[in-house]
A and B are shown apart, each in its own frame.
Chain A
Amino acid sequence: MAKHETPLLDQLEGGPWPSFVSDLKAQAETKPEVWDILGQLELSYKDRITHWKHGGIVGVFGYGGGIVGRYSDVPEQFPGVEHFHTIRVAQPASKYYSTENLRKLCDLWEKHGSGVTNMHGSTGDIILLGTRTENLEPFFWDLTHEMGQDLGGSGSNLRSPACCLGLSRCEWSCYDTQDACYHLTLHYQDEIHRPAFPYKFKFKFSGCANDCVAAIARADVSVIGTWKDKIRIDQAAVKEYIAGNYPSNGGSHAGRDWGPFDIKKEVLDLCPTECMWMEGDELKIDDAECTRCMHCINVMPRALRPGAEQGATILVGAKAPILEGAQMSTLMVPFMKVSKDNEYEELIDFIEKIWDWWMEVGKNRERVGESMQRVGLPTFIKVMDLEPIPQMIKEPRCNPYVFWAEEEVEGGFERDIDEFRARHAA
């Protein structure tokens, strides 16, 4: 593979941020086909348009997902990227690695592919960018046999679930997001590898309402940690914050002089429910009014902690705008115990109830949030065998167009017009 001139890309080598161009060039020294990646990308920079063809269905036997086919539309110029398929490899929970594991994966990818990756794709998978069709089965063989690892999801199936780092390195996580993510990922291997859904389906697990994996904005089932009892307060630490001995927000604002810490201005007045006040130098919280937004805990991590009776709020139906517009997930279950003690039975029942219905009524390429919109939230609540409660809505409807059912109305819908007219002349 010949080296290509890349005068446009060369301009992206300077500057303080890591340069993917320098990285690709260094890799090309030992993997010459990487010159063709650079060459085709340079052409895209010149033409200001992509040079990849639409689609191409490739995969490994028995799986309907995990590999995305890709072909160059200028293969004569850049034969090294004629085929440039992507492999999605399921990532370990919270993306912790041993170097031993990563090095093995690098060796495999150097042997079977371009050596170029994304760490990681948006959904969470390890993305291996660029290989030929004939390399797919040998790569999959080595991945499963030598590393005991597997592909992730793509297409109309369950996508690789993802989680925040949870209890592993965060004091706020209200359940073990890693274990829940791992357990459900293993439980649903068939759904990940063999597309049988109307469209993609995602789970994401965040340990608290700060939602570091953006579950509420992009997961069909968003599992977000919360608590039922009282915020745990260390009054001695509250005094240290007031005295200015502990930095606010864990030191997040240390780069600017915001003046001395003011608990009223920075905590009490910013509480969305105004449920906090000071009595002398004691911080008081009316926990019944608290909506567990995390602000006060974020600001004073050494003084305040989530309550001890912990679980998760389950919300359903988030998605990006294509097609009917972006949706956040809608609250369905205010509090669910999420525990490995019963192997996440409640959550699994909940998920399968959604799937049973959605696989029946969901249209082709309709996310579950769109199916919910189409049938209406009251119908979806019935499907889920849930009691309608005000926590599921922001506010009651402001139109009176209720779909009353006949059995709800005294005497039913059948009436006799002649009898009516006997009393009411037309």
Chain B
Amino acid sequence: MGYNPDKPMEGRITDLGPPHYEQFLPPVIKENKGKWLWHEITQPGVLMHKSETGDEVYTVRCGSARLMTVNHIREICDIADAHCDGYLRFTTRNNIEFMVDSKDKVQPLLDDLASRGNKFPVGGTGAGITNIVHTQGWIHCHTPATDASGPVKVVMDDLFEYFTSMALPAQVRIALACCLNMCGAVHASDIAILGIHRKPPMIDHKRITGVCELPLAIASCPLGAVKPAKAEVDGKEIKTVKVTVERCMFCGNCYTMCPAMPMADPEGDGIAILVGGKVSNAKSAPKFSKLVIPFLPNNTPKWPETVEAIRKILEAYAKDAKKYERVGEWAERIGWESFFEKCDIPFTEKSIDDYRLAYDTWRTTTQFKFTSHVK
């Protein structure tokens, strides 16, 4: 018996919630939960955790595209069945973790993974780059200003050496959000790749009456740029909205509320780069990422400008930062004027805040450095 459309409520089960986590814990994890003493990364991508019982668990971390088919998930399951007693986990950053309960099981697992082409790269631990947290982009979303899976693929291809090594001053967390809604915490990332729009919404007067609550569309604009208006459609006057273009900051909130105000545009849309955010409380407090490159074009399929910009920032950081220093801590120590100079990024007025609480970011001290910006 399955779903019966004639009696949709008969036999319906609801509000089960997620399955209990305990049934999915590998035996070595279940037996040692709460008893772990310390850990060590034995090689890039391989962690060893030691329990007070003397048990050890070895974790092999692999990258993934996040966007994956059931075909691919079944292959992941084949690997976990062959090596890990049929258990595995995913990390918050879209990595796959295969766990084994003794050291001698690690190399056969690594060999198996390596035999599967580029599907299961091992790495993403310690002072390196781990997988990019990202959103949907053109594969599924209706508001994106760029793609997600494509830019992530080309950036990770380019930075791959940093995924499989641990030679940076600290971990560098990269995240991508394909529009300002930011499904995911890109606003607190070492390097954030953010899709942005640069053209104000068009108004589809023919459609607006049927699909849009005008007061909601008007209230959706944080800067009051959307105003009530009238227009003529098929000889009849209708109520609609207009946009005061000078006040539009291209956030896209009006389009979220009103499908008759599309924003996306091949030339207008692209990527902004923000840097220096962090989530961890270690040493310094969590920080937001700051906008350093206001716009890079959507040059499909390989986004070369974005790839190059990120590599430049990463290499300047790798060369100059101290051990344990996150990107944002480094930028604050050397000063943002030095950050722009060392990363060879032109400074523009677009990096100067003029939204809410902007004054907090203006410099109100005589302390500065004589970088090339001072003419």
Contacts and interface: CB of A to CB of B under 8 A. Distances in A.
A160 B286 CA distance: 24
Contact of A98 (B24, B36, B90, B165): B24
A371 interface: no
B44 interface: yes
A93 B25 CA distance: 10
Contacts of A54: 142-143, 255, 259, 262
B141 A50 contact: yes
A263 interface: no
A116 B199 CA distance: 32
Contact of A122 (B88, B125, B133, B264): B133
A248 B94 CA distance: 26
Q: Is the interface of B mostly helix, strand, loop or mixed?
A: loop
Contact of B87 (A52, A62, A98, A365): A98
B200 interface: no
Contacts of B74: 103, 106
Given A49-B265, A137-B5, A118 B66 contact: yes
Contacts of A86: 140
B112 to A, nearest CB: 15
Interface in B251-280: 251, 253, 255, 259, 262, 264-266, 269, 277, 279-280
A17 B147 contact: no
A344 to B, nearest CB: 15
Given A18-B118, A217-B187, A99 B324 contact: no
Interface in A335-387: 364-365
Contact of A101 (B19, B42, B49): B19
A258 B277 CA distance: 24
Contact of B20 (A31, A145, A182): A182
Contacts of B11: 145
Chain A, interface size: which category? Answer: 35 or more
Given A142-B2, A293-B282, A62 B118 contact: no
A98 B18 CA distance: 14
A150 to B, nearest CB: 4
B65 A302 contact: no
A96 B89 contact: yes
Given A12-B153, A17-B63, A109-B70, A295 B282 contact: yes
Given A27-B69, A37-B139, A15 B153 contact: yes
Contacts of B63: 17-18
Given A115-B69, A137-B8, A321 B2 contact: no
A11 interface: yes
Given A37-B139, A96-B24, A103-B77, A119 B94 contact: yes
A216 B142 contact: no
B374 interface: no
Interface in B1-44: 2-3, 5, 8-9, 11-21, 23-26, 29, 33-34, 36-44
B23 A117 contact: no
Interface in A285-339: 293-295, 298-299, 301-302, 305, 320-326, 328
A99 B84 CA distance: 10
Contacts of B216: 364
B18 A210 contact: no
A144 B19 CA distance: 11
A414 B55 CA distance: 74
Contact of A84 (B23, B49, B140, B160): B140
A216 B282 CA distance: 13
A169 B29 contact: yes
Nearest to B146: A48
Given A8-B300, A218-B185, A252-B126, A119 B68 contact: yes
Nearest to B88: A97
B3 A137 contact: yes
Contacts of B16: 144, 148-150, 189
Contacts of B356: 324-325
Interface stretch (A170-178, A275-283, A400-408, A417-425): A170-178
A361 B258 CA distance: 24
Interface string A231-267: 0000000000000000101111111101000000010
A251 B298 CA distance: 38
B323 interface: yes
Contacts of A299: 324
Interface stretch (B176-184, B229-237, B343-351, B364-372): B176-184
B306 interface: no
B38 A171 contact: yes
B15 A150 contact: yes
B134 to A, nearest CB: 8
B355 to A, nearest CB: 7
Contact of B183 (A119, A122, A258, A325): A122
Given A90-B18, A252-B41, A258-B323, A12 B269 contact: no
Nearest to B133: A122
A284 interface: no
B328 interface: no
Nearest to B137: A50
B294 to A, nearest CB: 15
Nearest to B356: A325
Contacts of A115: 69-71
A129 interface: yes
A325 B356 CA distance: 7
Given A50-B138, A270-B283, A252 B127 contact: yes
A23 B17 contact: no
B126 A323 contact: no
10 contacts: A12-B150, A15-B160, A26-B69, A97-B90, A120-B94, A123-B183, A144-B12, A169-B29, A250-B47, A251-B126
Closest 3 CB pairs of A and B: A252-B126, A15-B157, A122-B184
Interface of B: 2-3, 5, 8-9, 11-21, 23-26, 29, 33-34, 36-44, 47, 49, 57, 59, 63-74, 76-77, 80-81, 86-92, 94, 96, 99, 118-121, 125-128, 133, 135-144, 147, 149-150, 153-154, 156-157, 160, 163, 165-168, 171, 177, 180-188, 216, 219-220, 222, 251, 253, 255, 259, 262, 264-266, 269, 277, 279-284, 286, 288, 298, 300-302, 323-324, 355-357
Interface of A: 8-9, 11-12, 14-20, 23-24, 26-27, 30-31, 34, 37, 41, 44-55, 61-63, 70, 84, 86, 90-103, 106-107, 109-110, 115-124, 129-130, 137-138, 140-142, 144-145, 147-150, 160, 162, 164-165, 167-171, 176, 178, 182, 185-186, 189-190, 192-193, 209-214, 216-218, 224, 247, 249-256, 258, 266, 270, 272, 293-295, 298-299, 301-302, 305, 320-326, 328, 364-365
